[in-house]
């Protein structure tokens, strides 16, 4: 069963080392997890970092921004999918969709109207994964990445 677990001393090293499993191409799409965790520490009031765990094995990392960053004001309140990565050996197993399903559930429970994400376009993935899930391209660009949004409620 896939779960989103708090980052603790017990899983910290596994989360950090997961970045080393990515191909050079995949590394172009997401910051190393250690950088994400440092950003979470510096932005503790809005960052929601979690280990993606399946049967007690850390398979990925996800971090939400719990503010309205990047979103058009008419869409507030939103969450921002700040970081999302899956270890190489765990890609293509449906864990990405399951993780997004849990994030969407959190958004619903907490009354968010949209889930925003920004994505590189150097390769078809991860952009195409978001489109396939139901995100729509807003036409906006932030820091060179396409901004997408998913209607929650």
Q: What percent of the chain has pLDDT over 70?
A: 100
Digit-coded pLDDT (tens) for 109-129:
999 999 999 999 887 789 999
What is the pLDDT at residue 125?
81
> Rounded distance, CA 99 to CA 105, Å?
10
Residues of the chain with pLDDT under 70: none
> Rounded distance, CA 79 to CA 99, Å?
15
């Amino acid at each position: 069963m896939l779960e989103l677990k708090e980052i603790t001393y017990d899983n910290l090293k596994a989360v950090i080392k997961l970045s080393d499993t990515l191909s050079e191409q995949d590394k172009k799409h997401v910051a190393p997890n250690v950088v994400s965790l440092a950003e979470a520490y510096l932005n503790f009031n809005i960052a929601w970092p979690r280990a993606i765990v399946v049967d007690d094995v850390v398979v990925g990392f996800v971090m939400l921004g719990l503010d309205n960053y990047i979103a058009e004001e008419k869409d507030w309140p939103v969450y921002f999918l700040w970081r999302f990565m899956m270890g190489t050996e765990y890609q293509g197993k449906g864990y990405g969709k399951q993780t997004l399903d849990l994030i969407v559930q959190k958004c619903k429970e907490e009354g968010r109207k949209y889930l925003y994400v920004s994505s590189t376009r150097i390769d078809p993935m991860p952009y195409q994964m978001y489109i396939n899930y139901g995100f729509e391209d807003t036409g906006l660009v932030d820091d060179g990445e396409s901004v997408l949004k998913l209607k929650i409620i």
